[in-house]
């Protein structure tokens, strides 16, 4: 989110008064906080796994929007490695590729960036000499698409096994090289400007400089792709003939004799792959052999993604299908170099552990293995261990070779420490007749939860129906057992609960909507009897009969690109508010959402407007030019001194001796970015996070009405993080 320095100005437009107080004299004080994750386990696409080739037990996982992880075997959990990223580097949470140094197990590299579009940040190479505990950043001359198509292929960042200072990076426009441990990069001009999907070194021989001579590169082009090879350490490149037509290499693996195994798909993935194959190249003769386990045919269409060899047992090859939606994805194992194959799924046992929600997410028979199996990896130091990835987390086995005896393999959802959800809304209701759950969440892709126990997902309730991506969420402040949520793929797009989120009933109807339309945000009146709903790019509607019927609100001009965010007053059931992002205006209703009138105009770009619990007609608006407060039902906003910009605002229990709820923001105060709390209505602020937690991108924020100081954060790609004031050190 862009930041803007404060300018002294008076916005004297209809209903808007922005006044400026003297700036704070010093940067905000820091209050130590203890931060923890609310356990969900997984919840997002783990796009790849990288084992160190010789260091026993050392393994990393990469994700498309949540950074990288290292497995702490002693603790039995994954350790997040990129939580220190700040808002300035928020797109570096996309881990497109990881590379380890075969000669130095402490070195780790990450090609970082989420998108390659015109407004995207440039890519960066993150370098670590302590296994990801700390990083140095080198800007790249190319953008990196860690959350774009093809993120499941690779690895496309590699360290030369003979010269650890030399790295190669495949990008969408060709190949780049570094000779100084990734500090600086230059384009390999001899390499065609094609999309590189995977790289692999064959360490069998070197050139005079000591670099590895043979390098393979998989590429994608307008009419498919293919495999290129260099025999002079990347100085020149040539295409290998007789490859399958119209297919793109997804993964490469080399055996001890230099044999090259390749999985192919007719698209980049992880979605949309409808054809594929597995081939083997004999580098001595140049002959290819088609060793595809099962060929796509008829309605059973799919490609091949994951690929791994067992270096301790020549001939052992494992591959995974990709996008086999009709009958479910499969993992195949061969012990004779691909001459024959054994499927694992029917005899595989999958233990979800505490993450029972995984079973309900997949649902269908044949989906036991999961979906988006874009990567499969055998531990090179332990033939019994393997990990494969899915769209919602990863699975690990410790008895892989049992597949060659009884056929049964045991897989566990070993995602402790991995929290990759995208929470889109968080609410913390007060105690209710249905019992108090401290937090309710709506989450992208997987639904949401009533978090009865933040420390273990086993004691939380997964939404039923989960409804895929859930967006809007609200509860009735005066009757907190009543809640509503919106859900993109469900028929009426929304649900209502009368028991604090334990059970849910679908709305009987919805406003006019397209099947693909995002369901947007919803506001519930303080008594739970009325709702105002604004879907994405649509005018808002109101219901007074629990969603049986809906009618357009009056007094609202939608325009060509409407973008409304509704909120309810937390005291008066007749009051609702709308933030009109397209017009920079706030509208208010005093008749239960039936009619609205504009009460503030010409506001800067803003985040969700929030009403204050326990105070009628008080609303706060986080904006790119500061934090605004109105005590007049959305009219006459005043700017809070010292806040340069604010992305989100929320409220929690008042501090001892105070009556106004504590205010939390994510933004910038006196030039310092972070998460802040004010106990005196914005007069002073405390910074709550340190360098270990940069909170690069937040999607939701709320305080806790029952616990002073607690704040809940929805971190993009890192799940739900909650913080409490740290106990004083003795």
Q: Say whether 445 is catalytic.
A: yes
Helix (H, G, I), strand (E, B) or coil at 565: strand
Q: What is the mean pLDDT of residues 37-49?
A: 99
Q: What is the mean pLDDT of residues 26-48?
A: 97
pLDDT value at 725 more than 60: yes
| Predicted pLDDT at 376 | 99
Helix (H, G, I), strand (E, B) or coil at 539: coil
DSSP β-ladder status, 46-51 and 711-715: unpaired
Helix (H, G, I), strand (E, B) or coil at 579: strand
The residue among 286, 283, 318 whose CA lies nearest residue 304 is 318
Q: Round to whole Å and give the CA distance between 623 and 604.
A: 6
- CA 60 vs. chain centroid, Å, equals 17
Element (H, E) at 720: strand 719-725
**Backbone conformation region of residue 106, classed left if phi is above 0, alpha if psi is from -120 to 50, else beta:** alpha
Q: Round to whole Å and give the CA distance between 82 and 185.
A: 22
The residue among 469, 582, 472, 621 whose CA lies nearest residue 533 is 472
Residue 188 near residue 236 (C-beta atoms within 8 A) = no
- Residue 357: phi and psi, rounded to 5, are -60, -25
- In 180-316, DSSP assigns E strands to 186-187, 195-206, 212-221, 224-230, 238-239, 248-254, 260-265, 276-282, 287-290, 303-309
CATH 2.130.10.10 fits 41-225+241-412, yes or no: yes
Helix (H, G, I), strand (E, B) or coil at 134: coil
The residue among 629, 669, 675 whose CA lies nearest residue 648 is 675
The residue among 167, 149, 147, 171 whose CA lies nearest residue 159 is 167
Q: Round to whole Å and give the CA distance between 168 and 375.
A: 20
| Predicted pLDDT at 24 | 47
Domains 29-34+421-725 and 41-225+241-412 share a fold: yes
pLDDT value at 35 more than 50: yes
Q: Round to whole Å and give the CA distance between 275 and 301.
A: 6
pLDDT classification of 434: cutoffs 50, 70, 90: low
Domain spanning 29-34+421-725, CATH class: mainly beta
| Predicted pLDDT at 487 | 97
Catalytic annotation, pick one of 255, 329, 375, 445: 445
Q: Round to whole Å and give the CA distance between 540 and 534.
A: 4
Q: Round to whole Å and give the CA distance between 14 and 309.
A: 69
**Better-scored residue on pLDDT, 87 or 13:** 87
- Residue 192: phi and psi, rounded to 5, are -65, 155
How many other β-carbons are positioned within 10 Å of the β-carbon of residue 373?
26
Burial of 458 (0-12, 13-18, 19+ CB in 10 A): middle
| Predicted pLDDT at 606 | 82
- Is the preceding peptide bond at 126 cis, omega within 30 degrees of 0? no
Q: Round to whole Å and give the CA distance between 226 and 219.
A: 6
| Predicted pLDDT at 558 | 85
pLDDT digit string, tens, across residues 395-414: 999 999 999 999 999 999 99
**What DSSP character marks residue 600?**
E
How many other β-carbons are positioned within 10 Å of the β-carbon of residue 645?
26
Residue 596 near residue 587 (C-beta atoms within 8 A) = yes
- Residue 635: phi and psi, rounded to 5, are -100, 160
What percent of the chain has pLDDT above 70? 95
| Predicted pLDDT at 16 | 42
Residue 177 near residue 186 (C-beta atoms within 8 A) = yes
| Predicted pLDDT at 603 | 94
DSSP β-ladder status, 287-290 and 531-534: unpaired
pLDDT value at 13 more than 50: no
**Better-scored residue on pLDDT, 435 or 715:** 715
Number of residues written out for the chain = 730
The residue among 581, 576, 542 whose CA lies nearest residue 565 is 581
Catalytic annotation, pick one of 64, 310, 488, 645: 64
Q: Round to whole Å and give the CA distance between 48 and 44.
A: 12
- In 631-678, DSSP assigns E strands to 638-639, 643-652, 662-669, 672-678
The residue among 516, 515, 518, 493 whose CA lies nearest residue 506 is 493
Q: What is the mean pLDDT of residues 369-385?
A: 98
Helix (H, G, I), strand (E, B) or coil at 14: coil
Residue 26 near residue 670 (C-beta atoms within 8 A) = yes
| Predicted pLDDT at 559 | 81
Q: Round to whole Å and give the CA distance between 534 and 521.
A: 6
Q: Round to whole Å and give the CA distance between 338 and 369.
A: 21
pLDDT digit string, tens, across residues 58-108: 999 999 999 999 999 999 999 999 999 999 999 999 999 999 999 999 999
Residue 664 near residue 709 (C-beta atoms within 8 A) = no
Residue 183 near residue 138 (C-beta atoms within 8 A) = yes
- Is the preceding peptide bond at 616 cis, omega within 30 degrees of 0? no
pLDDT classification of 9: cutoffs 50, 70, 90: very low
pLDDT digit string, tens, across residues 498-551: 999 999 999 999 999 876 689 999 999 999 999 999 999 999 999 999 999 999
Q: How far apart are the first and last CA of the chain?
A: 39
Helix (H, G, I), strand (E, B) or coil at 587: strand
pLDDT classification of 432: cutoffs 50, 70, 90: low
Domain spans of the chain?
A: 29-34+421-725, 41-225+241-412
pLDDT digit string, tens, across residues 551-568: 999 999 888 788 999 999
pLDDT classification of 2: cutoffs 50, 70, 90: very low
| Predicted pLDDT at 329 | 97
Helices (H), 300-457: 357-362
| Predicted pLDDT at 469 | 97
Residue 30 near residue 687 (C-beta atoms within 8 A) = yes
pLDDT digit string, tens, across residues 260-288: 999 999 999 999 999 999 999 999 999 99
Q: What is the mean pLDDT of residues 602-628?
A: 95
Longest dimension (CA), the chain: 83
**Better-scored residue on pLDDT, 14 or 192:** 192
The residue among 198, 293, 289 whose CA lies nearest residue 242 is 289
Q: Round to whole Å and give the CA distance between 615 and 705.
A: 14
Question: Please, what is the Cα angle at 616 between 640 and 637, to 5 degrees?
Answer: 30
Q: Round to whole Å and give the CA distance between 170 and 176.
A: 6
Q: Say whether 375 is catalytic.
A: no
| Predicted pLDDT at 534 | 97
The residue among 552, 661, 668, 582 whose CA lies nearest residue 615 is 661
pLDDT digit string, tens, across residues 545-554: 999 999 999 9
Residue 151 near residue 198 (C-beta atoms within 8 A) = no
- Residue 452: phi and psi, rounded to 5, are -65, -30
Element (H, E) at 342: strand 342-343
pLDDT classification of 10: cutoffs 50, 70, 90: very low
**DSSP letters along 421-442, please?**
--EEEEE-----TT---SEEEE
User: Who's near 436: CB < 8 A, 6+ residues apart?
Assistant: 429, 430, 500, 706
Helices (H), 658-721: none
* Strand arrangement of the beta sheet that strand 423-427 belongs to: 423-427, 439-443, 447-451, 461-462
Q: Round to whole Å and give the CA distance between 571 and 429.
A: 14
User: Who's near 348: CB < 8 A, 6+ residues apart?
Assistant: 331, 368, 369, 408, 409, 410, 411
**What DSSP character marks residue 507?**
-
| Predicted pLDDT at 516 | 63
pLDDT value at 222 more than 90: no
């Amino acid at each position: 989110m862009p930041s803007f320095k404060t300018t002294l100005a008076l916005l004297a437009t209809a209903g808007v008064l922005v006044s400026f107080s003297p700036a704070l004299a010093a940067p905000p004080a820091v209050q130590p906080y203890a931060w923890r994750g609310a356990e969900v386990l997984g919840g997002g696409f783990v796009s790849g796994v990288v084992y160190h080739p010789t260091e026993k037990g050392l393994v990393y996982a990469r994700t498309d929007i949540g950074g990288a992880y290292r497995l702490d075997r002693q603790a039995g959990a994954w350790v997040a490695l990129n939580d220190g990223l700040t808002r300035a580097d928020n797109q570096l949470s996309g881990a497109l590729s990881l590379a380890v140094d075969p000669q130095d197990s402490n070195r780790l590299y990450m090609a970082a960036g989420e998108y390659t579009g015109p407004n995207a940040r440039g890519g960066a190479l993150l370098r670590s000499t302590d296994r990801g505990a700390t990083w140095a950043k080198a800007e790249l001359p190319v953008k990196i698409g860690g959350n774009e198509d093809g993120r499941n292929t690779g690895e496309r960042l590699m360290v030369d096994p003979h010269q650890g200072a030399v790295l190669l990076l495949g990008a969408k426009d060709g190949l780049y090289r570094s000779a100084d441990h990734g500090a600086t990069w230059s384009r390999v001009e001899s390499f065609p400007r094609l999309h590189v999907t995977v790289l692999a070194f064959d360490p069998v021989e070197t050139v005079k400089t000591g670099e590895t001579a043979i390098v393979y590169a998989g590429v994608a082009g307008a009419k498919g792709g293919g495999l290129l090879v260099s025999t002079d350490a990347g100085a020149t490149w040539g295409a290998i003939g007789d490859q399958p037509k119209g297919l793109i290499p997804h993964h490469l693996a080399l055996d001890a004799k230099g044999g090259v195994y390749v999985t192919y798909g007719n698209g980049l993935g992880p979605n949309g792959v409808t054809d594929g194959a597995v081939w083997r190249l004999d580098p001595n003769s140049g002959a290819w052999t088609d060793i595809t386990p099962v060929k796509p045919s008829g309605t059973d269409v799919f490609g091949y993604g994951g690929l791994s060899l067992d270096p301790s047992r020549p001939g052992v090859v494992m591959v995974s299908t990709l996008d086999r939606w009709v009958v479910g994805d499969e993992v195949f194992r061969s012990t004779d170099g691909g001459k024959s194959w054994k499927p694992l799924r029917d005899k595989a046992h999958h233990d979800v552990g505490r993450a029972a929600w995984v079973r309900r997410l997949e649902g269908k028979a044949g989906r036991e293995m999961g979906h988006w199996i874009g990567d499969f990896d055998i531990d090179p130091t332990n033939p019994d261990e393997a990990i494969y990835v899915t769209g919602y987390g990863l699975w690990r086995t410790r008895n892989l070779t049992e597949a060659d005896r009884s056929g049964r393999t045991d897989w566990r959802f070993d995602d402790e420490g991995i929290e990759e959800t995208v929470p889109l809304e968080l609410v913390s209701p007060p105690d209710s007749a249905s019992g108090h759950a401290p937090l309710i969440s709506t989450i992208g892709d997987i639904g949401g939860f009533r978090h009865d126990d933040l420390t273990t997902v086993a004691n939380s309730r997964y939404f039923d129906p989960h409804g895929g991506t859930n967006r809007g969420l609200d509860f009735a402040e005066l009757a907190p057992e009543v809640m509503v949520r919106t859900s993109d793929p469900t028929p009426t797009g929304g649900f209502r609960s009368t028991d604090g989120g334990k059970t849910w009933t679908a709305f009987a109807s919805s406003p006019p909507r397209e099947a693909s339309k995002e369901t947007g945000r919803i506001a519930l009146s303080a008594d739970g009897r009325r709702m105002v709903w604004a879907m994405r790019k649509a005018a808002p509607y109101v219901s007074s009969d629990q969603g049986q019927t809906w009618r357009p609100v009056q007094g609202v001009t939608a325009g060509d690109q409407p973008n409304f965010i509704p909120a309810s007053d937390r005291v008066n059931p007749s009051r609702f508010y709308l933030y009109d992002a397209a017009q920079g205006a706030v509208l208010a209703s005093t008749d239960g959402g039936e009619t609205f009138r504009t009460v503030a105009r010409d506001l800067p770009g803003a985040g969700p407007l929030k009403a204050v619990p326990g105070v009628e007609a008080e609303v706060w608006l986080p904006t790119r030019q500061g934090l605004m407060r109105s005590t007049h039902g959305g009219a006459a906003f005043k700017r809070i001194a010292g806040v340069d910009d604010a992305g989100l605002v929320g409220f929690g229990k008042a501090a001892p001796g105070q009556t106004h709820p504590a205010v939390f923001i994510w933004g910038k105060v006196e030039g310092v970015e972070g998460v802040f709390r004010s106990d005196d209505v914005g007069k002073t602020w405390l910074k709550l996070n340190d360098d270990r937690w940069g909170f690069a991108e937040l999607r939701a924020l709320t305080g806790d009405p029952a616990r002073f100081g607690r704040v809940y954060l929805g971190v993009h790609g890192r799940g739900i993080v909650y913080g409490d004031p740290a106990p004083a050190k003795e």
